[in-house]
Structure 1
Amino acid sequence: MGSKNKLKRFRENETFPNVIQPTREEVLEGFSKKGKWNTFFNNNNPIVLELGCGKGEYTIALARKNPNINYIGIDIKGARFWRGAKTAIEENLTNVAFIRTQIELVDFIFAENEIDEIWITFPDPQIKYTRTKHRMTNAEFLKKYHHVLKPDGFVNLKTDSEFMHGYTLGLLHGAGHEVIYAHHDIYKNAHSPEEVISTQTFYESQYLEVNKPITYIKFRVRY
């Protein structure tokens, strides 16, 4: 994407009512929407996050299917989720929002027990050991998710990375967290949850065309 195109999208994002772009300082010093997201959506419906939402494809797809659930996509790259934000406006999806910020700040953006569910879709597996702290299912991230999720809230991890799948399963079992469902190839499993296989990102459909397995884990963080 050219720099001019990026700048155009950044400017357009600033005009979208469904895009929030706080500075890091605003988030760390007391984010105004923390604990008040139902006021932002003007309802008391459940709130679901997609972390590292990219173009917002999953956020949009889920919002279309579930109008009585509020969806928030989070990514640091605003030029990417511009597409999702614009689609939501074009289709009058009032249950969608996007936040441009670092995922590591999730517990500063949302209050304790404010979130019902989290989706992590095709994250960078950060395979090198030196990148462990950036893996979105490492122990520190799980603590953050536990803080913002309601007591019975859960996390969904969908990935094409066998490494990420295995790493996460091992960590969950080792720490005594609750694995609700796990499979290493959901499209070849007759018992895969419908909401998981009926929603696909663009890249996911490309993986499937070349028979690349898609893995999935649904779990609760328990402490």
Structure 2
Amino acid sequence: MGKDKLRKFAEIGTFPNVYQLDAGMENKGRWAERHFGNTNPVVLELACGKGEYSVNMAKLFPEKNFIGIDYKGNRIWRGAKTALEEQISNVAFLRIQIEDILSYFSEGEIAEIWITFPDPQPQLSREKKRLTADRFLDNYKRILKEEGVVNLKTDNDGLYEYTVNKLKERNEPILASTTDLYHDELLDDVLSIKTYYEKKYLLVSKNINYLKWIFR
């Protein structure tokens, strides 16, 4: 690991807005109260990377709490540091494996989930690792409130098609979908937030897919 990554890993260990591994379990069922000090809705960004979505949504919606989740601490560092520098108090970060999410959140605790440009895991042998595979969808359903919404943004057409087919197979209601977000009427202030990788994709005119659904 390079010196810069080591520095960032060490630094996030001192950040009051970052929880790593077991440290976040103590907030299970009480994230709004224990970390944010309020009763506002909690929104998750999964595979948050540098945390652009979490930070920018926190700015747009001060009446909500946001938690970015990723396992790569050197990426989380950027979003967490920006939030501290700009005194954005309604966003936090959790460094865990997403498959362990049930250990950190209680049933019905989460109001909304964003999955932003996750690894598409294109190999068939890695289907179970896709963040929209059945085991992940089952977990999201458990921690979401009734009528809680899930959003997926991805440049990967295969993952988008896989997710659409999976939701249809499960009979889950799709609320919105597009294979070309930036040329669609769905585009708004929230969907216009761009991640580091999304900016790179748009520079080469790659289409961006978007999907929004709820669970029955």
Specify the TM-score bucket, using the shorter chain as the normaliser.
over 0.9
How far the C-alpha of 1:193 sits from its partner, in A, is 4.0
How far the C-alpha of 1:139 sits from its partner, in A, is 0.7
User: Which residue number in structure 2 is paired with residue 215 of structure 1?
Assistant: 209
The AA in structure 2 aligned to 1:11 is A
**Distance in structure 1 (CA, Å) of the matches to 2:129 and 2:173:** 22
- 5 Å-filtered alignment, 1:1-223, equals 3-23=2-22, 31-39=25-33, 40-189=35-184, 191-222=185-216
**Distance in structure 2 (CA, Å) of the matches to 1:205 and 1:219:** 25
- Greater displacement, 79-88 / 197-206: 197-206
Q: Which SS does the other structure have where 1:194 is aligned?
A: coil
| 1:116-175 alpha-carbon deviations (Å, 9 max, x no partner) | 000001111111111001000011100000000001101000000000000000010111
**Distance in structure 2 (CA, Å) of the matches to 1:201 and 1:4:** 25
**Distance in structure 2 (CA, Å) of the matches to 1:131 and 1:195:** 34
Q: Which SS does the other structure have where 1:177 is aligned?
A: coil
How far the C-alpha of 1:58 sits from its partner, in A, is 1.1
Q: Which SS does the other structure have where 2:21 is aligned?
A: coil
Q: Which SS does the other structure have where 2:206 is aligned?
A: coil
| 1:85-141 alpha-carbon deviations (Å, 9 max, x no partner) | 000000000001001110001111000000000000111111111100100001110
TM-score (norm 1): 0.93
- In structure 1, runs of 5+ residues without a counterpart are none
Q: Which SS does the other structure have where 1:197 is aligned?
A: coil
Percent identical residues: 48
**Distance in structure 2 (CA, Å) of the matches to 1:171 and 1:107:** 21
Q: Which SS does the other structure have where 1:85 is aligned?
A: helix
Aligned pairs, how many? 215
How far the C-alpha of 1:7 sits from its partner, in A, is 1.4
How far the C-alpha of 1:197 sits from its partner, in A, is 3.3
| 1:156-206 alpha-carbon deviations (Å, 9 max, x no partner) | 0000000000000001011100100011111111x2141443211122122
How far the C-alpha of 1:33 sits from its partner, in A, is 0.8
TM-score (norm 2): 0.96
Taking only aligned residues, the RMSD between alpha carbons, in angstroms, comes to 1.3
